[in-house]
Structures are given as C-alpha cells and as structure tokens.
Amino acid sequence: DVVMTQSPLSLPVTLGQPASISCRSSQSLVYSDGNTYLNWFQQRPGQSPRRLIYKVSNRDSGVPDRFSGSGSGTDFTLKISKVEAEDVGIYYCMQGTHWPPFTFGPGTKVDIK
C-alpha cells in the first residue's frame, strides 16, 4: 500500500499569514493515464471532510483562491496564502492512484496562534 506522510502534523498560524503543508507518498502518484490523483481535504471541527483540491492543483467549486495545491511525483504541497479564522481544522492529503486501497495522510491540524 502507498504510505502518505504529512508535515508538520500541527501548524499554529497567525491570521493573515501564509501557511504551507507538505505531503509525501511512498511511491510516485503518476497514473498510467498521465494524471496524478492527489487530493486535499479540509475537516473543520465537528464537520464532515470536504474536498478542496483534486489532481494536485485543481480547486473544487466554492473553494477560496487563497488555497492552492502543487507538486509532482511523490512531493506535494497545500498552501494557504493568507489564513483566515474559518481555515482552522485538519487537512488531509489522499492518493487515488494506487488503489485499492485509497490512502490518506495522518492529517495536519491548523489552528490560530
């Protein structure tokens, strides 16, 4: 199974400042069709997860443009350009290239300093 790791696991941020989360996979996530199936999810306290980014860098509908995804191969990054209070929560990366199973990272908890 593909192992997903994230760093940091805890990220205290100042409102209005940028934040960055790293995600690494144990093998390349490039699929045979040329796509890279790496997603990012946000889970606010007490809520269901919500997909933010799919295929590395594509924002879902309604996701603010302060969120961006990048990366390739085995190294990926989620960036928040200016953190807002509503961004508090846990962020997960997930690979959908080598399945089954789909595998998630351990999560990065973002909170306000």
The yes or no reply on residue 92 touching other proteins (CB under 8 A) is yes
Residue with tokens 């790791």: 5
3-state helix, strand, coil in the chain (%, to 5): 5, 50, 50
Question: How many Å separate Cα 1 from the centre of its chain?
Answer: 19
Please state, as a whole number, how many other Cβ atoms lie within 10 Å of the Cβ of residue 92.
Answer: 23
In the complex with other proteins, which residue's Cβ is closer, 2 or 30? Answer: 2
The yes or no reply on residue 49 touching other proteins (CB under 8 A) is yes
The stretch near other proteins (CB under 8 A) out of 12-20, 28-36, 76-84, 87-95 is 87-95
The yes or no reply on residue 104 touching other proteins (CB under 8 A) is yes
The yes or no reply on residue 105 touching other proteins (CB under 8 A) is yes
Rounded Cα distance, 43 and 48, in Å: 6
Footprint of other proteins (CB under 8 A):
39, 41, 43, 48-51, 54, 60, 90, 92, 94, 96, 99-107
